[in-house]
Amino acid sequence: MITDIIPMRFYGFDTAIYAFAALIGLAIAYKAYRLHALTGKKQHFYLATAFTLLGIGLATLTLTSGFTYYRYFISGNLSLFDLMFNIDDLGFWIYGISSLVAYSLLAMSYLPESRAKFAPLIFFTTTYFAYLNIILFAVMAYIAFNALRHWLESRNLNSALVAAGFLLIAGFHAALPFATFSRLLYVVGHFSLVLGFIALLVMLIRVGK
């Protein structure tokens, strides 16, 4: 149940964080589509599609968590379908699947084209929701590792911001599975997510100048 893991003072803030992250994700997707239109490269298409899916997933989460809070504050009722599966769960499932596909595509954009066949295997991993964040963390950690390696080679501030962004998003997925043990980790995870997208936003502003 949503009320088991979210501190009361944090109600609504997570929705705002998802909305902010969705907007940045879609802005990056737009830039990446322009890049793909110019080059026609597969890697750029993966990058653009990944951020589109991530943006859509986060936008879905914004709507479902926003609706959940609305119902909670209006009627005190969180469930939409039944007591076991509420609309927030549905939002998390849509976000979970879209971000799994998105991260797989991001991982593919870091692979040489000849080796980019392994990543779709991740799509077929059947998993229970509780483990989804652990898988998302593993894929995002791989992406962050590659981004960090690129930053160490290039020593470019924009690359550092991308690596920091991916690391912080990985931090979000690392914290969420443990939110059932400590509500504080739910807050820490979401701060990590918003800081990650702020790092990506700063990069986007810098390259747009």
Partner 1 sequence: MVPPPDAKEPEPERRSQVQIYADILRLLQRKGGAAKPTHILYGANLSHKRLLKYLEVLLIQGFIEQASMGGRMVYRITPKGHVFLKELKKIEQFSEAFGVPI
C-alpha distances (whole Å) from 132 to each of 56, 58, 87, 92 are 18, 16, 18, 10
Work out whether 86 is an interface residue with partner 1 (CB under 8 A): no
Work out whether 203 is an interface residue with partner 1 (CB under 8 A): yes
* Per-residue DSSP letter, 126: -
d(CA 165, CA 14): 18
C-alpha distances (whole Å) from 80 to each of 46, 86, 90, 98 are 35, 5, 10, 22
* Per-residue DSSP letter, 125: -
To partner 1, the closest distance from the beta carbon of 159 in angstroms equals 5
d(CA 187, CA 17): 11
Amino acid at 180: T
What 3-state DSSP class applies to 1?
Answer: coil
In the bound state with partner 1, the residue whose beta carbon lies nearer, of 34 and 117, is 34
Which x/- pattern, by CB under 8 A, does the window 164-183 give for partner 1? --------------------
In the bound state with partner 1, the residue whose beta carbon lies nearer, of 41 and 117, is 41
In the bound state with partner 1, the residue whose beta carbon lies nearer, of 44 and 173, is 44
d(CA 132, CA 134): 5
- What residues from 129 to 148 belong to the interface with partner 1 (CB under 8 A)? 146-147
Work out whether 207 is an interface residue with partner 1 (CB under 8 A): yes
Which x/- pattern, by CB under 8 A, does the window 95-134 give for partner 1? --------------xx------------------------
Work out whether 154 is an interface residue with partner 1 (CB under 8 A): yes
Residue 124, H or E segment? none
Residues at the contact surface with partner 1, assessed by CB under 8 A: 31-32, 34-35, 38-39, 41, 43-44, 47, 109-110, 146-147, 149-151, 154, 156, 158-159, 161-162, 203-204, 206-209
